[in-house]
Amino acid sequence: MSRQPEAVFFDLDGTLADTAPDFVRCLNLQRQLHDLPPLPAEQIRAVVSNGARALVQLGFDLAPEAPDFQERHSELLDLYRDNLAVETRLFPGMVDVLAWLEARTIPWGVVTNKPRSFTLPLMEGLGLLERCGSVVCPDDVSQRKPHPESLFMACKEVGAPAAGSVYVGDHLRDIEAGRAAGMRTVAARYGYIADPEEIPSWQADHIIDHAGELIRWL
């Protein structure tokens, strides 16, 4: 970037934190409860950014309109609620990124499509809740990403203009939301991306393969 950002915001799952191990464990535990064999971790990991409904579809080959879908969905959420910060960790290099931002008093926050009832306990479990300037979840807005409403809310909470801020994400909707808000955008290729080859077509301002690369770019 030509100048230091006024704020940096992160998507949560697949960008800031590697939450996939807990989803893998919970989905395979659920399959075990229904006498099904475990699925490969990488197969589950590729779907994590699409949410619990997509995981239920993967885990049980059920369409959302299927009679058993809602029951399986609720069951998975209950399992995850009890196990959401067991194996989840910040991605390698992200500890240094947050320390770099804080040393320069650049506010940072999380803008996610993960419901608040899961996001806040997870952030607290990672020791980040008191450190971040903003956490915006779909519960807080009328339109979730890729609509930019949540990003505008995050900017307001930290007192930074969208035009001077950066949004980092691992999904097309993250980049679309950031661009719609007028932010600089960074695509995290290390995240939960089914087809990394498609990332250039997202038209992010920058692409990183390791969280630590963000420091040099910022």
Residues 6 or more apart whose CB falls under 8 angstroms from that of 87 comprise: 21, 22, 25
- Whether residue 27 contacts residue 55, with contact meaning beta carbons closer than 8 Å, is answered with yes
CA–CA gap between residue 183 and residue 194 (Å, rounded): 25
Q: Can you read off the two tokens belonging to residue 87?
A: 């194996």
Catalytic residues: 11, 13
Residues 6 or more apart whose CB falls under 8 angstroms from that of 99 comprise: none
**Burial 72-89, CB ≥16 within 10 A → b, else e:** bbebbbebbeeebbeebe
